[in-house]
Amino acid sequence: MVGIGLAGSLVHTTLMWTGGDLGRALAQPGSPLLLFCLFFHGLVVCMTSSRWRLLLNVQGVHISLAEAMRLTLMGFFFSLALPGTVSGDVMKMAFVTRRTETRKAEAAMTVMLDRIFGVFGLFTVSAVVVMLSLPFLLSLGQEYRLVRISAFLAGSGSLGVIIAFLLLWFHESLLRISYARRLIGFLARRLPEPVVEKFSRLACAIVLYAGKPGIVLSALGLSVLVHSCLALNLFCIGRVIGENILGVRDYFLATQVANAVAAIPLTPGGIGTRDATIALFFNAMNASSDQIGVIPVVMTVILVCWGGIGGIIFTLAGQNTEIPVHKTSDAYGVKPH
Q: Which residues pair with 84 in a beta bridge?
A: 268
Predicted confidence band at 247 (pLDDT cuts at 50, 70, 90)?
A: very high
What integer pLDDT is reported at residue 331 of this predicted model? 34
Q: 3-state class of 268 per DSSP?
A: strand
Predicted confidence band at 258 (pLDDT cuts at 50, 70, 90)?
A: very high
pLDDT at residue 119 above 90?
Answer: no
pLDDT at residue 327 above 50?
Answer: no
What integer pLDDT is reported at residue 2 of this predicted model? 56
What integer pLDDT is reported at residue 337 of this predicted model? 35
Taking residues 176-205, what's their average pLDDT?
73
Q: CA 61, CA 329: separation in Å to the nearest integer?
A: 9
What integer pLDDT is reported at residue 320 of this predicted model? 52
Predicted confidence band at 325 (pLDDT cuts at 50, 70, 90)?
A: very low
pTM, to two decimals: 0.83
229 to 174, 232, 238: CA distances (angstroms): 37, 5, 14
Segments in 59-103 forming alpha helices (H): 65-79, 87-98
Taking residues 40-61, what's their average pLDDT?
92
Mean of the per-residue pLDDT values of the chain: 81
Taking residues 136-147, what's their average pLDDT?
92
Which of these ranges, 24-33, 125-134, 271-280, has the smallest mean pLDDT? 24-33
Task: Look up residue 130 and give its amino acid.
Answer: V
What integer pLDDT is reported at residue 321 of this predicted model? 46
Taking residues 64-70, what's their average pLDDT?
92
Per-residue pLDDT tens over the stretch 208-217: 677 777 888 9
Predicted confidence band at 198 (pLDDT cuts at 50, 70, 90)?
A: low
Taking residues 147-162, what's their average pLDDT?
83
Per-residue pLDDT tens over the stretch 287-304: 888 788 899 999 999 999
Q: Is 226 exposed, middle or buried (0-12, 13-18, 19+ CB in 10 A)?
A: buried
Taking residues 165-187, what's their average pLDDT?
73
Percent over 90 (pLDDT), the chain: 36
Return the domain boundaries, the chain: 2-318
What integer pLDDT is reported at residue 212 of this predicted model? 79
What integer pLDDT is reported at residue 281 of this predicted model? 95
Predicted confidence band at 326 (pLDDT cuts at 50, 70, 90)?
A: very low
Contact 297/11 with Cβ under 8 angstroms?
yes
Taking residues 19-31, what's their average pLDDT?
74
Q: Is 180 exposed, middle or buried (0-12, 13-18, 19+ CB in 10 A)?
A: middle
Predicted confidence band at 319 (pLDDT cuts at 50, 70, 90)?
A: low
